[in-house]
Structure 1
Amino acid sequence: MAKTKSKRIFYLDALRAVAILTVIAVHVYAVTRIHVMADFATGPSIRWLISQFTGNNLRIGVDLFLMLAGALSLGREWTIKEFLGKRIPRIVEPFVFWGIVTGAIAVIASYYFGYNFIYSFDINSILNFFYGVFMAKSPGFLPYWFFWMILGTYLIMPIFNKWLQHSDLKEAEYFLVFWLITCLFDFTLNIKFPIKLSYFVSPIGLVVAGYYLRHTKREILDNPYFALALTFLSALLIMGIVTYFSTPTKFHTLNRYSLPITLEVIGVFLLFKNFNKFGLDLGFIKNENSLFRRFVSLIAKYSYGIYLIQGLFLCIYVKILPYYDIYSLMIVLFILIVFSSMLTMHILNKVKYVNRFIGAK
């Protein structure tokens, strides 16, 4: 019997892989940036700029996940029951599974190896720790806030899907204009726009943007050189803002929903969508069976599970790795977390019954 051809779209898989890799990179930045803070006193050093590039210019992972949710789900024929019945278990089951498993590992690591996930081992303390795990408050589990955000986004998506099914892309543009206004005022300038625009605030704006960018036929948005320029100029703007507002005792961090990062993530999405229009003869990208494409698709497949376990690996490795220099620490941490997360997911994905709960899709 012939194999059914995969319906996966490679540039969307590649964006999902980039999303999870940038999430890991930003979390590595968060635990290593302290080593370069003093560099700013005599002017931003190269290693300070690299650290801040990692922490701000790569703050696009969550935005990309939201755009991909819109690109893949909106404007399609499905009922609320079908959508929620399929999507909600996909995020809830891995969240509960990994919360219990990695939470238990954290307690064991604290008890036997002196890690600081938990300090007291009575029943109340352990229960409070697990409550903090699922509420994204316990050490090592702060990234779990993503679950609650994406859950809320999924709950509202059926409303937007019905609207977009009966609208043309110009009506989506109307929505996105006001969304960009909220990105500018609420998340960049940190002031309230005089008109209350709560219904246009991210993350739902990114979901609609993902749908729009995938389906738009506007000539400028289908131009790879425009996408490249938008990405590059946004990156320069982000670094300029970060450098200007930072001090020797404080790193300036842009909100992930700020306008500069929003423009950068739009540029990245369009760059991947239109990459084939550069006319580059890259066999490792064109060949569906190449090792590169298979590896990218594997990262994309495991991305949600990786998100749920990478925080634990980060906390473990950052304690045992010696500090020689910021470059070595960041690179080694990043490689170890990616490798450990991928290996864990790949092994468990082969275990019957367990594989349905790990976040592989």
Structure 2
Amino acid sequence: MKTKKERIFYYDFLRAFAIIAVIVCHVDLFLGPLTTQAQIIGQMTFHDLGRVGVPIFLMISGALLLNREYDLKDFLKRRFARIVYPFIFWIILIMAQLLYLHTSREGMWNTFIGHPSITWYFWTLIGIYLFIPIINTFIKKYGEKGCKYFLAIWFFTIILKTFSSYPLFPDFNLDCFAGYVGYPVLGYYLNTKEFRLSDKKMCIIGLVMLIISLAVFVYLDYRKMSYISLIYLNVPIVFMGSGMYLFVRYLDRITSFKHIKDNFIGKMIVSISICSYGMYFSHPIIIRILESFEIKSNLLFPVMFVLTIFLSWLLPYVFSKIPYIKKVCGV
């Protein structure tokens, strides 16, 4: 008889934070006019903090999937089933809504392929999962040294991308190390690395990294500098993701979460985490529905933001209670 695996709360916290952060990036349309500099900077800070959601999702994947024993065929079958079936289910609903809104064929096709659309993450995830078994074998053989080797070259490509200098020369190609695949390796490294400093100091370091890198990101955004043109592949966002991951990991280790794990807040965090993949696809549906009410108000924005999160969670949660549908709704 199989025993149910105990959930790791800080993974749930990070995953819940990540999906809320993703939604943060898409609710600007509920804001009213921004008339002061403070309002503009506040909106940018709120929005740019949301950018850390995707890196966190990918880092969690690496922490959970790397340095594991599994059969290649079984891994691909199980992993692809977990992301492909929900995609098919949600893309049908998304397309039905777009059809109802009289969206053009070109617009619907672009939504499907993720150009531009939230579905880009699904196609990115497909590519990463195809590469995970290769990275897994490499890390199992070379361990921490292999991680550092990969991350050093990956971060070098991130620096080049940040300054729009990649590839530096036409034949200087580091694509095997470049792109989103670095985030799972980074997540695994930060999850397994035992630092010499105390847990409390590492928690503070993570928080400071997050705050400073966010401030740099917002400054570059405010100055309209091209350094952040690649939203998820630049130096500030790498430090933001690393800082957030370290902060939450060590916050858990100094037992700061023990008082909320079993109460309503803790259970809600776990539920959002479980529903997060479904929420990723459901939130644009919810946003389009709420957009029809044409509410643009700075005063009501917090209400619209919370309502978007709640309904984006509620939709996949309800689907998860329906026989047959619960297997494909991403919960």
The alignment's TM-score, normalised by the length of structure 2, stands at 0.90
Is the aligned partner of 1:191 residue 2:169? no
Coordinate RMSD, CA, aligned = 2.5
Q: Distance in 2 between matches of 1:23 and 1:7?
A: 26
Is the aligned partner of 1:328 residue 2:326? no
Partner of residue 98, structure 1: 90
Map 1:21-36 onto structure 2 (within 5 A).
Answer: 21-29=20-28, 31=29, 35-36=33-34
Is the aligned partner of 1:272 residue 2:272? no
- The answer (yes or no) to whether the contact 1:71–1:211 under 8 Å persists in 2 is yes
Q: Distance in 2 between matches of 1:221 and 1:256?
A: 30
- The answer (yes or no) to whether the contact 2:32–2:297 under 8 Å persists in 1 is no
Match of 2:221 among 228, 242, 245: 242
Give, in angstroms, the shift of residue 47 of structure 1.
1.1
Q: Distance in 2 between matches of 1:53 and 1:275?
A: 23
The alignment's TM-score, normalised by the length of structure 1, stands at 0.83
Give, in angstroms, the shift of residue 296 of structure 1.
0.5
Q: 1:221 to 1:204 in 2, by over 3 A?
A: farther
Aligned partner of 2:157: which letter? T
Q: Distance in 2 between matches of 1:205 and 1:179?
A: 6
Q: 1:279 to 1:307 in 2, by over 3 A?
A: closer
Q: Distance in 1 between matches of 2:230 and 2:304?
A: 23
Aligned partner of 1:354: which letter? I
Q: 1:279 to 1:359 in 2, by over 3 A?
A: closer
Is the aligned partner of 1:354 residue 2:314? no
Q: Distance in 2 between matches of 1:50 and 1:268?
A: 20
Partner of residue 158, structure 1: 133
Partner of residue 39, structure 2: 47
Partner of residue 113, structure 2: 135
Match of 2:59 among 49, 52, 67: 67
Partner of residue 259, structure 1: 235
Partner of residue 286, structure 2: 313
- The answer (yes or no) to whether the contact 2:21–2:51 under 8 Å persists in 1 is yes
Partner of residue 216, structure 1: 193
Q: How many residues align?
A: 325
Partner of residue 229, structure 1: 208
SS in structure 1 at match of 2:6: coil
State the identity %: 28
Deviations along 1:221-272, whole A, 9 cap, x unmatched?
Answer: 95212112211211222222222336xxx9x766211100110110000111
Aligned partner of 2:33: which letter? H
Larger Rg: 1
Unpaired runs of 5+ residues, structure 2, are: none
Unpaired runs of 5+ residues, structure 1, are: 111-116, 120-124
- The answer (yes or no) to whether the contact 2:31–2:296 under 8 Å persists in 1 is no
Q: Distance in 2 between matches of 1:242 and 1:19?
A: 21
- The answer (yes or no) to whether the contact 2:31–2:297 under 8 Å persists in 1 is no
